[in-house]
Amino acid sequence: MARIFITGSSDGLGSIVAQRLVAIGHSVVLHARNAQRAKDATAACPGAEAVVTGDLSSISETKSIADQVNKLGLFDCVIHNAGLFHGGFRKTSDGIPALAAVNTLAPFILTALITRPKRLIFVSSEMHQSGSTSMDDVFWARRGESEWSENAAYCASKLHNVIFAKAFARRWPDVRSNALDPGWVPTNMGGSSAMGSIDAAAETYVMLAEGEEADAKKSGRYYRPGKKEEKPQEATDDEEKQDRLLEICAKFAGLDVPS
């Protein structure tokens, strides 16, 4: 059985996947933004091993989350599930919009600081296909709120998630690093009108988290609901862009680029 850490697992798909993994015998550590959300996470998934807390829109709190996870010991899999879509610019204490902090910077920080697991899963979206490949202003620090586009920022951040999966697959050949698109499903983020299948999305999470099926033994791939492998945006294979994104994130977070 595997030991798995899931960010953003107090509700939505993160919670649903945690419950399913626990039900089939895996050990799961949850993540919640604050103490109240931690109570919600535990209530929804009472069989979880533990819950760590911290706001992924804050660099210091994200680093604290990594420290909490490392104190719990080694993990087989880390699922970077947490993400933001709506909510406006919402400038953080670090001077960037919360969406960029949670969707792009936080997965990098956690991957850089958590003791290397056997498997990494970066949750992306089909919307990454429309994401800008520019690395000039990844965190909207120059453009600022006056030029803010929620949709453009989200698409770019989901592109970054696929780039991360491929970058770490290349840099860490002993780690299976993949991206997945859960589809548009009826959760708090997706809304009640979403037409996607939660079951099909969860199947893909579980397959990659367990790492036993043939597709789960691949690395640097992109999967959609129902465990279907598909081709992501071509730019995600650009090694220069991969390295540049890691460098940008490392510099902003005050960390070294993982070797």
- Which residues are identified as catalytic? 154, 158
Instruction: Determine the 3-state secondary structure of 27 from DSSP.
Output: strand
C-alpha 236/C-alpha 184 separation (Å) is 22
Which are the contacts of 151, defined by CB distance < 8 A and separation ≥ 6?
none
Q: Which is it for the CA torsion 15, 20, 25, 26, positive or negative?
A: negative
Beta-ladder partners of 77:
4, 119
Tell me phi and psi for residue 45, to 5 degrees. -135, 70
Q: DSSP letters along 33-80, please?
A: SSHHHHHHHHHH-TT-SEEEE--TTSHHHHHHHHHHHHHT---SEEEE
Report whether 157 contacts 198 (CB < 8 A): no
